[in-house]
Amino acid sequence: MSITYLGAIREAQAKLLRDDERVFIYGQDVGGTFGGAFKATKGLAKEFPGRVLNTPISEDAIVGTAIGAAIHGMRPIVEMQFADFSSLALNQILNNAGTHYWRTNVAVPITVRLPSGGTKGSGPFHSQSMESIYAHYPGLIVMTPATVEDAYTMLIQAVAIDDPVVYCEHKYLYYHLKADKLGNDGTPVGKARIAREGRDLTIVSYSAMAQESLLAAIELAREGFEIEVVDLRTVKPLDTDTVLASVARTGRLLAVGESFPWGGVTAEVIARVASAGFHLLDAAPARINAKDTPIPYHPNLWSTHRPNAKGIAERARKLLRE
């Protein structure tokens, strides 16, 4: 058996619909015979009649509807067609779902799937990584699976969680990643994973950049460096303990993310390590992000805008010399 990251997301949703009658899927083009812009819900409308529903192009109302249903006992999964369009639902996600438990003591168990991140030729409005925005606001859990196994397991866990979950699935990984099995190693939600062990430098990353970081680690291994790669898995909560423990072993930290450079997950990782583990560092911590421009359309520009294994390895080499 071989299943893709995208296939894992579809299988997780099929399982959720099968096992829990409270689950329904709500989003643009998810239903009918179409099954979503990326086919993450292909065939599910037929298999689960009335529970995989096409919606108008109304991101705000889609999430609002999910919130209302969740308050009254359902477990909605919202598919945003692209993470970028979730900007149109920010109000419902941040101000309604994110505040609801705190204000009313009633949790809102919605899962919002965000097809995230860059792919070749997708341009400024179909490439964004929004996890830092959602992580910044209180009341939300933000997942960023980097493997097929996690894509499957974490989506099932997301729906089981009583609080709102923003599930950032990476479009670049949809077809690039394959696995032989579904189901991960049992790492609990909220815990980071040591994706590769090393002793010379820690790279902290997540989602597609965790994969790029692993490639960089392989490249550096040929040069004799042992790079430890921490896959955050959820950026909120951010598993600071695992990161600190890794930096304690290596003394060097490089944080890698695909979103824009101002603030964000990489800044948060460095702030936490600098604050709680300054004494562990043998060199100033570094970070790599996308550039501070909109995401370009042309592959020649995009491949430079987006961090990649080569650039990560380069920055790591520099950090290893410091």
Phi, psi of 53 (to 5 degrees): -115, 130
Contact code string over 106-145 relative to another protein, x by CB under 8 A: xx------------------------------xxxx----
Give the nearer residue to another protein in terms of CB position, either 148 or 235: 235
Of the candidate spans 11-19, 104-112, 248-256, 305-313, the one that interacts with another protein by CB under 8 A turns out to be: 104-112
Residue written as token pair 């951010």: 238
Which SS3 state, helix, strand or coil, does residue 259 take?
coil
Q: Which of 40, 69, 195, 201 binds another protein (CB under 8 A)?
A: 69
**Whole-number Å distance between alpha carbons of 37 and 79:** 10
Query: Do the beta carbons of residue 284 and residue 322 sit within 8 Å?
Result: yes
Q: Does 68 bind another protein (CB under 8 A)?
A: yes
Q: How far is the CB of 64 from another protein (least distance, A)?
A: 3
DSSP class per residue in 159-228: HHSSS-EEEEEEHHHHHH-EES-SS---PPTT--EEEE--SSEEEEE-HHHHHHHHHHHHHHHTTT--EE
Q: How far is the CB of 240 from another protein (least distance, A)?
A: 5
Give the nearer residue to another protein in terms of CB position, either 157 or 211: 157
Q: How far is the CB of 275 from another protein (least distance, A)?
A: 7
Tokens of 27: 């989003």
Query: Do the beta carbons of residue 212 and residue 303 sit within 8 Å?
Result: no
Q: Does 248 bind another protein (CB under 8 A)?
A: no
> Quick one: DSSP state of residue 52?
E
**Is there a catalytic annotation at residue 126?**
yes
Q: Does 20 bind another protein (CB under 8 A)?
A: no
Q: Does 99 bind another protein (CB under 8 A)?
A: yes
Of 104, 159, 107, 110, give the one whose Cα is nearest residue 134.
110
Phi, psi of 193 (to 5 degrees): -120, 140
What contacts 264, CB < 8 A, 6 or more positions away? Answer: 132, 257, 289
Count residues contacting another protein (CB under 8 A)? 53
Q: Does 236 bind another protein (CB under 8 A)?
A: yes
Q: How far is the CB of 76 from another protein (least distance, A)?
A: 8
Of the candidate spans 35-43, 79-87, 206-214, 233-241, the one that interacts with another protein by CB under 8 A turns out to be: 233-241
Sort residue 40 into left (φ over 0), alpha (ψ -120 to 50) or beta: alpha
Q: Does 263 bind another protein (CB under 8 A)?
A: no
* Residue in 100, 126, 170, 305 annotated catalytic: 126
Give the nearer residue to another protein in terms of CB position, either 65 or 207: 65
Q: Which residues are marked as active site?
A: 126
Applying CB under 8 A, the residues found at the interface with another protein are: 24, 55-56, 58-74, 76, 91-92, 95-96, 98-107, 138-141, 161-163, 189-190, 234, 236-238, 240-241, 268, 272, 275
